[in-house]
Structure 1
């Protein structure tokens, strides 16, 4: 996805050529990853010439919450970014599903949170998501731990946290796996670098609670709701051990880019139910909502064609 460089980017209030969006190498966002961001998916609907932008208001609300947690001044930026989403989608030449990343970054203001001394900016990148894969993932339990809340708030989606995620993902790739699953300092399952974790065990759908140090995933919320309405399952939000993952009936992950993706093995332990009927039903329902096959999933439609 990021290997494809788009032609345009929304940069501090206007759509500009990609190469024109630059910050200094000594900026706080370059030196310390001091930024907050969101990943929003836009589903291209060729029959109507529209992008269905999935739950943009919730994403921007979470972006504002991340900025507050990291004490990044953001007065007026959320409103600008809401408008910028439409502007970059109207300007892009892409006619396929896209991943839109609104970001608020700190340019200067090292150890202060004062509005009059911190300089901030914002941009929205728009990348093609690439083809969707139906193949189950192979995962490994990372030796790297999820950054604890006492070090960095897990509810803040910040670039700085993704350095640790990068190490976990590299470790997984070097082990021949597709993705990493991180534990917290207590040894409980948290999430992958980009998605929430679910398991099915003895007919019970289980996912880690926010208190175990995970992002408040918007896709996770949607899957919990779908499980209730589609399958009559109430998701238990409780701590999960590594052994429970190894012995689960089904395991799947859920996130903006991954959507709902089955896990075929974890450290070479395969879930008992290889056909994964619950995960597949939830995947089908989620994709139908996002792609417009059924009642839209809180999507804002951005019309591009006359």
Structure 2
């Protein structure tokens, strides 16, 4: 967000500097034009007050009219306005959906191209370059905007496909992908990772006695707590229903068990109990899920609200 604010501020600074350069090379000699400059200043201030999201809709027309005015005032140097036309087309792309952006850009760009002809300016060099550059700049700008729009759609659907809409946590598919990546790291020689599965105790009774809205609230509360109390680099996701999973990179079984115990105590303090199953990756993800799940159900069988660890080859069952 800080970068966006910085770029937004830089855009306005560039606009002011551009106007200053224009006035330096073509100073105002006719004082009757001062009210027009005041009007443009008010339009730019109005756009500034709209904020980054709404400003382009005001600014695209204010800038279009200003460039047209400066092209007219500059006489035979009308082509100088063409240097700023890409900013105009980008504003149109940000302000409107693609068909309307094309219309707004073509309207102001067309006027910039037609002005020298209507005003009887010298249409030798550089008019040909000037006229040809405008539709090309408009087309490239809108093409870029279209790619940006498509990328945003792909990113949205990808995030939807990998995120639990209720809790905002990664869903089961996202967790499986993360586990596959972590397994690949282990195969390259990094330390093994641990998986923690946890299931809320007696959650069905919450839904039956207090309603599904209260059940959803509990799930969101648990998700927020888990996300806030794991270590940096750990990944919490919703495995399904009232079951959550935590991926602990480069963690031994004892460290994973201790973390699970801290989480269990923290949830209990919130009035929510859960059973935990802990397992260490040993080269097979399918076996990892099975062993963590078996440990979880052993915790349930032992009375719930506890942590159970899957037995390792050299470790007796806890």
Shared topology, TM-score over 0.5? Answer: no
Query: Comparing both structures, which one devotes a greater share of its residues to strand?
Result: 1
TM-score range, shorter chain: under 0.3
TM-score (norm 2): 0.19
| Structure with larger Rg | 2
TM-score between the two structures when normalised by the length of structure 1: 0.20
